[in-house]
């Protein structure tokens, strides 16, 4: 028969537990076991006054931000609404049913103030890395590095050509926050000092963002998030925000390797990356530090099919010469200089040539230098490190490394597709850095929860 109509009945008292209504297999239950915020209050102690009204608990704000980044809630206004309505979110944030949810403007006030000044988000990220190390997910033997473009919160309609924008007329005290940050990083190696090449357009709302067409499509303003990961379990051991140009991205790897060494005492046996990182100075920097570069070498000395490449020539370091397959010498200098200032300096690119008479009479000239009178080989200052990388590329370990390199690309796909970080909400270098740190922290926490899921408990009848 037809049952009675369901109507809400008010009650004077309720016996209700949020914990009983959060599913045992909920993602936040697994993540909660790895969130250690015990040091936050001590970390921020100097940022609070001893007088005045009591502040909102910073641990609550961080827990709410973790909910947003772990579950792909990009808007802080929407995040506050979701925490207000969702029991699982309230449980994770340690909020009871009657506890109020902070206003969304509270996040901006704290982010631009005490969070950023104290480096709290960097501290939070490093805490997640330390937990991964403690749980045996990071061996520190093999690292992989790469960068990915993230669209900035700016568009071409509100931009100016570089030559039409005079930074000398900008008054920092009257400029928006993103413009002040842009002026602050003009000499930063990750931003203004990364390259002398000026971008075609500069955004008015976020001038530090890079105008780029790297995706082979319509150009847009962007930042680059740079990841350094341990390939054992794809744990992100460091992250850095830079301009979206190769020089800045390559330089960030040095910064991250030094920081990981200082913070966690991790010194990898090898570093895995794509060709963009295969320049001579970068390879030389790695080899000097005892890190094997599993990186394709950037080599412009290509030859037509059937013509001997550089690999066919033998380098003799004692005599400072190359030896061709026919046994002839290629030298940089063929006489002794009485004036040492005119001789070899050891700086810059050295050019090694064979004798014209020798090449003209050589039976293998068609295979060596068919279009020139002599054979020339240019040797860069870091040619030794480049040769180390070439030798590594012929090993079986290199083939394995190229497969492992895909792990960092999978993390970028997860960042954009699952966490929804395809476009930045915050502007300026600091805003980009904040978002990248929180997203990397969320990815590490999700990795921990996946490898060590929460034990399923039998629900009481």
**DSSP track, 66-121:** HHHHHTT---HHHHHHHHHH-HHHHHHTT--TTSPPPPTHHHHHHIIIIIHHHTHH
Nearest CA among 77, 68, 81 for reference residue 28: 68
Q: What is the reported pTM? A: 0.87
Q: Which of 78-87, 225-234, 310-319, 435-444 has the lowest mean pLDDT?
A: 310-319
Fold of the domain spanning 139-296+395-433:
Nucleotidyltransferase; domain 5 (3.30.420)
Q: Where are the alpha helices (DSSP H) in 265-370?
A: 280-288, 356-360, 365-368
When pLDDT is averaged across residues 195-210 and rounded to a whole number, the result is: 86
Over 90: is that where the pLDDT of 236 sits? Answer: yes
Q: What DSSP state is assigned to residue 414?
A: H
The confidence score (pLDDT) of residue 172 equals: 67
pLDDT at 461: 42
Model confidence at 346: pLDDT above 60: no
For 352-405, the pLDDT digits (tens) are 888 888 888 898 888 888 888 888 888 888 888 988 999 999 999 999 999 999
Per residue in 418-438, pLDDT (tens digit) is: 999 999 999 999 999 999 999
Contact 263, 269 (CB under 8 A): no
What's the confidence (pLDDT) of residue 169? 63
H/E element, 331: strand 329-331
Q: Which residues pair with 270 in a beta bridge?
A: 142, 292
At a CB cut-off of 8 Å and minimum separation 6, what does 455 contact? none
DSSP assignment of 372-411:
SSS-EEEE-TTHHHHHHHHHHTTSHHHHHHHHHTHHHHHH
How far apart are the C-alpha atoms of 251 and 258, rounded to whole Å?
Answer: 11
All structural domains of the chain with their residue ranges = 18-118, 139-296+395-433, 310-336+348-381
How far apart are the C-alpha atoms of 111 and 62, rounded to whole Å? 10
For the residues 177-200, what does the mean pLDDT come to?
A: 84
Choose the most confident range, by mean pLDDT, from 242-251, 331-340, 346-355, 356-365.
242-251
Q: Rounded to the nearest 5°, which phi and psi values hold at 236?
A: -80, 115
Number of Cα atoms under 13 Å in the Cβ half of residue 223: 34
């Amino acid at each position: 028969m037809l049952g009675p109509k369901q109507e809400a009945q008010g009650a004077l008292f309720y016996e209700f537990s949020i914990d009983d209504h959060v599913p045992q297999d909920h993602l936040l239950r697994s993540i909660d076991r790895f969130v250690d915020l015990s040091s936050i209050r001590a970390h921020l102690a100097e940022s609070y006054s001893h007088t005045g009204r009591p502040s909102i608990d910073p641990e609550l704000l961080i827990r709410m931000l973790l909910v947003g980044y772990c579950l792909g809630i990009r808007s802080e206004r929407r995040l506050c609404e979701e925490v207000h309505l969702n029991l699982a979110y309230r449980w994770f944030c340690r909020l009871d049913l009657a506890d109020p949810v902070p206003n969304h403007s509270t996040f901006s006030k704290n982010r631009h103030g005490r969070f950023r000044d104290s480096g709290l988000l960097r501290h939070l990220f490093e805490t997640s890395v330390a937990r991964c190390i403690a749980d045996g997910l990071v061996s520190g033997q093999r690292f992989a590095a790469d960068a990915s473009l993230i669209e900035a919160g700016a568009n071409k309609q509100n931009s100016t050509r570089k030559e039409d924008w005079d930074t000398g007329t900008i008054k920092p005290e009257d400029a928006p926050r993103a413009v002040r940050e842009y002026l602050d990083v003009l000499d930063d190696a990750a931003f203004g000092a990364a390259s002398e090449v000026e971008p075609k357009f500069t955004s008015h709302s976020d001038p530090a963002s890079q105008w780029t067409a790297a995706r082979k499509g319509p150009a847009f303003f962007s930042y680059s998030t740079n990841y350094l990961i341990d390939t054992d379990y794809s744990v992100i051991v460091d992250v850095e925000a830079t301009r979206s140009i190769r020089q800045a991205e390559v330089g960030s790897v040095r910064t991250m390797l030094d920081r990981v060494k200082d913070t966690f005492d991790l010194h990898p046996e090898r570093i895995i990356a794509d060709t963009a990182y295969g320049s001579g100075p970068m390879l030389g920097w790695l080899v000097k530090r005892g890190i094997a570069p599993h990186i394709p070498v950037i080599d412009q000395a290509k030859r037509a099919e059937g013509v001997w490449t550089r690999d066919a020539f033998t380098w003799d370091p004692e005599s400072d010469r190359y030896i061709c397959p026919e046994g002839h010498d290629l030298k940089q200098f063929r006489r002794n200089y009485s004036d040492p200032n005119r001789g070899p300096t050891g700086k810059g690119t050295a050019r090694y040539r064979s004798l014209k008479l020798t090449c003209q009479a050589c039976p293998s000239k068609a295979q060596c230098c068919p279009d020139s009178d002599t054979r020339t080989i240019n040797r860069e200052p870091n040619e030794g490190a480049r040769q180390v990388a070439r030798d590594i590329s012929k090993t079986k370990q290199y083939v394995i490394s190229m497969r492992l390199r895909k792990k960092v690309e999978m993390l970028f796909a997860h960042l954009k597709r699952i966490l929804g970080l395809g476009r930045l909400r915050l502007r300026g270098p600091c805003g980009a850095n904040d978002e990248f740190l929180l997203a990397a922290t969320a990815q590490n926490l999700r990795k921990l929860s996946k490898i060590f899921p929460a034990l399923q408990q039998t629900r009481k009848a």
